[in-house]
Structure 1
């Protein structure tokens, strides 16, 4: 357990020991600690408390036997003080400016290996675009609920599902909570609709921010890089307040993330970098969570839904990253959730055909073409050529793929499944009867 978390779970005796050691930066011998606390507690109890503090990396022991000294670890010394008593940590432009794609690594090797292992086999089942409608819907609900929950939203998963699928607001909850979840839906939809396109730029980031924060902040602040100072609750970190610097660094961060070849590192850079930069007046952690999925979705990998991510570890990990530049705790918290949920997405992928993103984007036109083939009684053998002509405005690879899709639809269409493409079943019956008469 990291000291930043362990410090919040101390009992009274452990707190007293930490306070004593905080006042003695050079350390204390155990006999000195016992002498200061002996009136209230026994020596064996103090020894057990000291051992527990050492186990949790709060206290370090130096020296041998009687000459041993006990002092707080570096992290414990820092976080044992309340935020307003810790030295202020201003924004460091070099943290983003000095990041070199494919050289610098924010995601620890151990956690990157865990993500790679968790995703094995799934990326072969997906093309480098997106998920089927069912899987996309699951991801949408998962991320909308989990991300909102990390913000303190009290909707249950079931309440979230009902809200997103049926528009029914849960009783006993503020309208703001429903708004937050619905905003997540619209922003996640935007991500899914743009899979495969180059989106890691400030224009797209501003669009996602505007969708995420609609009706939650002033309209003039939606998608706009802030130009005022903000404070981070529970932290001594002070983000940059200059709009020009923020805008420049936001552009840098997005560009650099796009250059990173490893999708897990790129995802982590977006997650932590957008949270650290705090480019917008509010919603920056939400931005980080959504945008962190871009490198994964674009590579056909399981997304990070943040289901199962421990809120305390996640928020503490961000503070550790903000103030000391240490990404270890936030990485562990996020990867723990990713490893567990990748199993669910792998199982879902294994049972479903997964379309390419072009099928999502051209869904309406596919329906129109299928209806036209049926209405105009175009022979099944001519369906492919009709599709190639219909999609002549697309790139050759996409046109060929859609031609195959339309050809397979026409080969399989029946009155029973006609509604899948919004075609009148009676027209399909007539089309099939004509085909039987003409021998196709």
Structure 2
């Protein structure tokens, strides 16, 4: 399934609605826009516009019509006021450098006015780890200053674990929203905290959120193990793409077929052998980079540019960008409040021009926003449970063992699966901790213990009817 990236479609949708003052149905509207947007993406955009008040939805079922809300401006007028750039139809853009404005102006041109390009290997070859920098020294020092917690001399992943519950919601929601997911943040919180899927949402949207949750937990819970090895990135892709690809065998595997990017003139490389070779080169180069922020930005540039997987490449790059931040105990990057259009246009600048300035502006703004969120939140958190942290792997193993054996959690069954890593004097407290986990265990959070949905369902069915 080719990737679909929305480019300048928001203005087109609003403009078309403005031409039909009495409203227009989905079929008729899509027939006018099918050259730039898929039907499913159009449905998602319209739902978002309705939520934002830009569009009015009238009628029921097949009689549903959409019309522009009174007072919405359909022209492409820019109002620039430091420090933010506002679009006339109400969208907030990130602050831009002059170089970024050049990129934005280019990618906003109609597709037929942009030069078709393929993968440019010299773009990667021009980068020398620790000699070439996409982020200048002053900027890297600024990011480190705002992203370092006061007590940074702690084990890898400690800061991310401190704010894990908030990070799971924010990053799952924000990253999914950049892919057109219409879940609200509150919907996302209910899904992650209570396993409640939002009514009226596509099942694939629910799956996308849960996939993000599983991938983020992998990064945080295994912070001392994950790095830029191929296995880590394959695992991230497998978790993020689970249930979303037509070919299930494509999860966690280099693609074996060509892909294109809707709305772009960039055509990614098609040869599987060459893709795998370049994929490993990119990760090897990323490993060599010493600065965590440069590492993060490098993978945000080159993983999506290569498009090593059939789909979900940008999602992989956004989560992979957090690997060095989590490992260095820095504030993670959640992409909270990042304007979708700014991110899409930034990626098009990389794809079609091999220029990183616009993506750099998005990255810096997004990181500053994340730091404002999490450094403030962390000051209000209850100190972490050191006992739970010490035995988190043993705890996961014990819970998983009971579920896979389809046993009810009792003193006897829990005592039988206590790992040898748990000191004998800690057994009673450990058993109590296992019971606490089972009190809050449900299908939405079972993946934290490596338990798959079918395994959880089988355990629940067995223990409920005993």
- Residue number among 87, 98, 101 corresponding to 2:129 in the alignment: 101
Match of 2:178 in 1: 150
Report what 1:244 is aligned to. 273
Structure 2 equivalent of residue 353 of structure 1: 383
Q: Which residue of 1 aligns with 2:114?
A: 86
Distance 2:145 2:337 in 1: 18
Contact 2:146 2:368 (C-alpha < 8 Å) held by counterparts: yes
Partner SS state of residue 351, structure 2: helix
What corresponds to 1:117 in structure 2?
145
What secondary structure, in the 3-state scheme, does the structure 1 residue paired with 2:262 have? coil
Instruction: Identify, as 1 or 2, the structure richer in helix.
Output: 1
CA contact (8 A) 1:96 1:252 kept: no
Q: Which one of the candidate residues 264, 267, 273 is aligned to 2:293?
A: 264
Q: Which is bigger in relative contact order (C-alpha 8 A, separation at least 6)?
A: 2
Looking at structure 2, the residues matched to 170 and 50 of structure 1 have their Cα atoms a distance apart, in angstroms, of 36
Q: Give the equivalent residue in structure 1 for 2:39.
A: none
Match of 2:364 in 1: 335
Deviation at 1:125, TM superposition (A): 6.2
Instruction: Write the distance in 1 (CA, Å) between the matches of 2:150 and 2:347.
Output: 29
Q: How far did residue 110 of structure 1 move?
A: 5.3
* Alignment check: 8 A CA contact 2:183 2:205 kept: yes
CA contact (8 A) 2:297 2:363 kept: no
TM-score by length of 1: 0.65
Structure 2 equivalent of residue 68 of structure 1: none
Counterparts of 2:130 and 2:221, CA distance in 1: 28
One of 199, 204, 214 as aligned partner of 2:227: 199
**1:176 aligned to 2:208?**
no
**TM-score, normalised by the number of residues in structure 2:** 0.62
Q: How far 1:146 sits from its partner (Å)?
A: 0.5
In the aligned structure 1, how far is the partner of 2:191 from the partner of 2:153?
31
Larger radius of gyration: 1
RMSD: 3.9
Residue 219 of structure 1: CA displacement?
Answer: 0.6
Q: Where does the alignment leave 5 or more consecutive residues of structure 1 unmatched?
A: 13-48, 58-72, 376-388, 392-401, 424-440
Structure 2 counterpart SS, 1:206: helix
1:78 Cα deviation (Å)?
Answer: 3.8
Count the aligned residue pairs: 332
Deviation, 1:94, is: 2.5
Correspondence for 1:163: 191
1 CA distance for matches of 2:397 and 2:254? 37
**In structure 2, what is the Cα distance between the partners aligned to 1:87 and 1:228?**
23
Q: Which moved more, 1:200-209 or 1:280-289?
A: 200-209
Quote the offset at 1:106 in angstroms. Answer: 2.0
